[in-house]
Amino acid sequence: MNDSKTSSSAKRAKLSHDESSAENKQEVVKHFQKQVLCEDALAQVLHYLHPRDLLRMSETSKALREYFTTAIIVTSAMIHGGHGATTIKELYKLMKDCSIHIPSPMRLLRLINGKRCEVCFHNKVNHVRPKTGVFACWICLTGEESSVFASNHTLHALPQQQQPLTRSHRTNLAKYRKNKKYEAIFSHSRVACNGYTKDTYVWNRKRAALPNTGDDETEEWIGPLVCYNDIDRMANESDRDIDTYITEELDAPQKEAYNEFVSVYEETEARAKREAQLRQEEKKAKKQKTIDNKLAKIQKMVLDLQALLDDRWSEFATSHKILPSWRMNRPGKYPIVDFHIGFVNDSLKPYVISPSKLKKKILKDIANQINENFGYIFESDFLSFHFLSDDGVEGLLKQKCMEHISSLESWREQRIFSLEIFELLKQEQYFQCLCMIERSIWSKLGFSSLLYCDIEEKLQKRYHLDTLATRVWDEEVESNQIKTLENLQTTVDICKEKVRHLMKVLEEYLVWKQKKEGDRDDGRDINVSLGHGTYSFADLLNKDFDSVYTQETHWTGLWG
Amino acid sequence: MSNEEQLVTITSQDGVGVPCKKEAALLAGVVKNMIEEEDEDETNITEDLKLLKVTGETLKKVVEFLEHHVDEPMETLSETPLQMTKLGECVGPEWYVKFADIDREEMFLLVKAANYMDVPPLLDLMCLAITMTIMDKSPEEVRGIFSKVNPSLAAPPQAAEADVEAAA
Closest CA to A244 of A188, A300, A178: A188
Lowest mean pLDDT segment, chosen from A101-110, A448-457, A503-512: A448-457
pLDDT, residue A559, reads 38
The listed range with the strongest mean pLDDT (A167-181, A511-525, B42-56) is A167-181
B82 and A CB contact within 8 Å: yes
Which residue does chain B place closest to A59, by CA atoms? B160
Contact A377, A383 (CB under 8 A): yes
What's at A293, amino acid-wise?
N
CA angle, A402 then A408 then A410, to 5°: 65
Which residue does chain B place closest to A118, by CA atoms? B166
Q: In the predicted model, what is the mean pLDDT of residues A396-415?
A: 74
CA distances in angstroms from A462 to A27, A80, A381, A465, A474, listed in the order given: 102, 71, 38, 5, 18
Contact A556, A524 (CB under 8 A): yes
B152 and A CB contact within 8 Å: yes
Task: Convert A485-520 to b/e letters by CB count within 10 Å (16 or more is b).
Answer: beebeebbeebbebbeebbeebeebbeebeeeeeee
**Best mutation target, A33, A36, A50, A215, to test chain B (most B CBs within 10 A):** A36
- A60 and B164 within 8 Å at the Cβ level: the answer is no
Eight-state DSSP code of residue A523: -
| CA A293, chain centre distance (Å) | 26
Q: Which residue among A53, A113, A213 sits closest to B162, beta carbon to beta carbon?
A: A213
**Best mutation target, A38, A53, A59, A273, to test chain B (most B CBs within 10 A):** A59
Tens-place pLDDT, residues A458-468 = 555 556 677 77
pLDDT, residue A419, reads 78
pLDDT beyond 50 at A78: yes
Q: In the predicted model, what is the mean pLDDT of residues A472-487?
A: 75
Tally of CA atoms within 13 A in the half-sphere of A320 that contains its CB:
26
Burial class of residue A96 in the structure, from the number of CB atoms within 10 Å of its CB (0-12 exposed, 13-18 middle, 19+ buried): middle
Question: pLDDT band at residue A440, thresholds of 50, 70 and 90?
Answer: low
pLDDT, residue A93, reads 95
- A32 and B150 within 8 Å at the Cβ level: the answer is yes
CA distances in angstroms from A126 to A113, A158, A334, A496, B81, listed in the order given: 9, 19, 26, 65, 21
Lowest mean pLDDT segment, chosen from A269-278, A395-404, A546-555: A546-555
Q: Could you list the beta-strand ranges (E) of A79-177.
A: 166-170
Give every CB contact of residue A468 below 8 A, 6+ residues apart in sequence.
A452, A499, A502, A503, A506, A530
Q: Which residue among B111, B137, B167 sits closest to A113, beta carbon to beta carbon?
A: B167
What integer best gives the mean pLDDT of chain A?
79
A513 and B CB contact within 8 Å: no
Residues in chain A: 560
Q: B124 CA to chain A: closest CA distance, Å?
A: 8
Through-space distance between the first and last CA atoms of chain B, rounded to whole angstroms: 64
- B167 and A114 within 8 Å at the Cβ level: the answer is yes
Give every CB contact of residue B163 below 8 A, 6+ residues apart in sequence.
A55, A58, A59, A106, A110, A213, A215
Q: In the predicted model, what is the mean pLDDT of residues B34-46?
A: 65
**Best mutation target, A38, A61, A215, to test chain B (most B CBs within 10 A):** A61
Question: pLDDT band at residue A416, thresholds of 50, 70 and 90?
Answer: low
pLDDT, residue A127, reads 93
Name the CA radius of gyration of chain B, rounded.
19
Contact A27, A20 (CB under 8 A): no
* d(C-alpha A400, C-alpha A542), whole Å: 34
pLDDT, residue A7, reads 46
Give every CB contact of residue A81 below 8 A, 6+ residues apart in sequence.
A272, A275, A276, A279
Q: In the predicted model, what is the mean pLDDT of residues A52-60?
A: 88
Lowest mean pLDDT segment, chosen from A91-95, A219-223, A461-465, B33-37: A461-465
Q: Report A:429-448 residues touching B (Cβ under 8 A).
A: none
Q: In the predicted model, what is the mean pLDDT of residues A506-513?
A: 76
Q: Could you list the beta-strand ranges (E) of B12-167.
A: 17-21, 49-50, 75-76, 91-92
| CA A193, chain centre distance (Å) | 30
SS3 call for A203: strand
Closest CA to A339 of A308, A375, A313, A368: A313
pLDDT, residue A34, reads 58
A408 and B CB contact within 8 Å: no
Question: pLDDT band at residue A179, thresholds of 50, 70 and 90?
Answer: confident
What order of strands is seen across the sheet that includes strand A193-196? A166-170, A199-203, A193-196
Q: Which residue among A32, A53, A65 sits closest to B135, beta carbon to beta carbon?
A: A53
Tens-place pLDDT, residues B3-14 = 556 788 888 888
Beta-bridge partners for A167: A202
pLDDT, residue A481, reads 72
B52 and A CB contact within 8 Å: no
pLDDT, residue A77, reads 94
Phi, psi dihedral angles at A547 (to 5 degrees): -65, -45
pLDDT, residue A338, reads 87
CA angle, A398 then A403 then A404, to 5°: 100
Which residue does chain A place closest to B140, by CA atoms? A60
B79 interaction partners in chain A (CB closer than 8 Å) = none
What integer best gives the mean pLDDT of chain B?
79
What's at A308, amino acid-wise?
L
B2 and A CB contact within 8 Å: no
Closest CA to B137 of A77, A53, A67: A53
| CA A256, chain centre distance (Å) | 43
* d(C-alpha B162, C-alpha B168), whole Å: 10
A116 interaction partners in chain B (CB closer than 8 Å) = 166, 168
Contact A506, A464 (CB under 8 A): yes
SS3 call for B127: helix
pLDDT beyond 70 at A538: no
Tens-place pLDDT, residues B9-32 = 888 888 888 888 888 888 989 888
- The percent of residues above 70 in pLDDT, for chain B, comes to 74
How many C-beta atoms lie closer than 10 Å to residue A222's C-beta?
25
pLDDT, residue A47, reads 85
CA distances in angstroms from B23 to B4, B8, B35, B121, listed in the order given: 6, 9, 11, 15
Burial class of residue A25 in the structure, from the number of CB atoms within 10 Å of its CB (0-12 exposed, 13-18 middle, 19+ buried): middle
Burial class of residue A309 in the structure, from the number of CB atoms within 10 Å of its CB (0-12 exposed, 13-18 middle, 19+ buried): buried
Tens-place pLDDT, residues A128-147 = 999 999 999 888 898 877 66
* d(C-alpha A331, C-alpha A323), whole Å: 11
Tens-place pLDDT, residues A22-41 = 566 566 556 565 556 677 78
Tally of CA atoms within 13 A in the half-sphere of A248 that contains its CB:
10
- Peptide bond just before B81 cis, omega within 30 deg: yes
- The percent of residues above 70 in pLDDT, for chain A, comes to 76
Domain regions of chain B by residue span: 7-136
pLDDT, residue A412, reads 59
A44 and B CB contact within 8 Å: yes
pLDDT, residue A101, reads 93
ipTM of predicted complex: 0.80
Of the options 3.40.50.920, 3.30.710.10, 3.30.1490.190, 1.10.472.10, the CATH number for the domain spanning B7-136: 3.30.710.10
The listed range with the strongest mean pLDDT (A63-72, A185-194, B144-153) is A185-194
- A41 and B167 within 8 Å at the Cβ level: the answer is no
Tens-place pLDDT, residues A338-373 = 888 888 888 999 999 888 898 999 999 999 999 998
